[in-house]
Amino acid sequence: MPESRGERPSKHFRSLALGRRVAVRALIAFIAMFAVLRALTAIIHFQLFPHGPFRNLVTRSGLHIHHLFWGILLLMATGFAALATRDPKWHLRIAIVFGLALALTLDEFALWLRLADVYWSPEGIESLKAGAFVGALLALYGFGQPAWHAIARDLFGVTRRSRS
């Protein structure tokens, strides 16, 4: 039975080297979490649901805990876990948590670059630029030339030109 077009990309994903599969998983988790964080912070900032569950995390003493904090903790945990195991299945799982942690951290890149809460100011665009840059690096590594060529061959019947 011939493969459907939806099965082909997953076949190519499984044929990628472990490092590339890790990068793709981290990229998907990173993009999803970055988008969710931007949406949630907009909901909180603009008070779109004033009586809803989305609020800033503030301690009794008035300390605002940024999601950068949780990102740093998860980056430390995933770094240790990646160093502690050599099992490819675990690296693929760790990649997802790493992507989430990377998003939590880089979404507030401008904050740790400037040591000031500039999330909604013009300088806050630095966080978006950092996120786009890191996402592009993950995508370039994960979906490098071999993966794109194989997918193009399967989907569009593109064949490699012979060099004469």
In a domain, residue 162? The reply is: no
Quick one: average pLDDT of 35-61? 93
Task: Name the β-bridge partners of 61.
Answer: none
Backbone angles phi, psi at 64, to 5 degrees: -85, 125
In a domain, residue 73? The reply is: yes
Structural contact between residues 137 and 109, judged by C-beta atoms closer than 8 angstroms: no
d(CA 157, CA 39): 39
Phi-psi region of 2 (alpha: psi -120 to 50; beta: other; left: phi over 0): beta
User: pLDDT-derived band of residue 101, with 50, 70 and 90 as boundaries?
Assistant: very high
In a domain, residue 164? The reply is: no
Specify burial of residue 2 (Cβ count, 10 A radius: 0-12, 13-18, 19+): exposed
Task: Name the β-bridge partners of 58.
Answer: 64
SS3 103: helix
- pLDDT above 80 (res 92): yes
In a domain, residue 25? The reply is: yes
Task: Name the β-bridge partners of 110.
Answer: none
d(CA 116, CA 28): 29
> How open is the CA angle 98-102-108, to the nearest 5 degrees?
155
In a domain, residue 14? The reply is: no
How do residues 120-145 score in pLDDT, each as one tens digit?
999 999 999 999 999 999 998 888 87
Task: Name the β-bridge partners of 64.
Answer: 58
Q: How far apart are the first and last CA of the chain?
A: 36
In a domain, residue 1? The reply is: no
* Domain encompassing residue 51: 19-143
In a domain, residue 4? The reply is: no
Structural contact between residues 153 and 35, judged by C-beta atoms closer than 8 angstroms: no
In a domain, residue 59? The reply is: yes
d(CA 42, CA 128): 14
User: pLDDT-derived band of residue 15, with 50, 70 and 90 as boundaries?
Assistant: confident
Domain total of the chain: 1
Q: Quote the mean pLDDT of the chain.
A: 89
Taking the complete model, does pTM exceed 0.85, yes or no? no
- pLDDT above 70 (res 5): no
Quick one: average pLDDT of 89-94? 96
Residue that the structure tokens 């966080």 belong to: 127
Quick one: average pLDDT of 5-19? 76
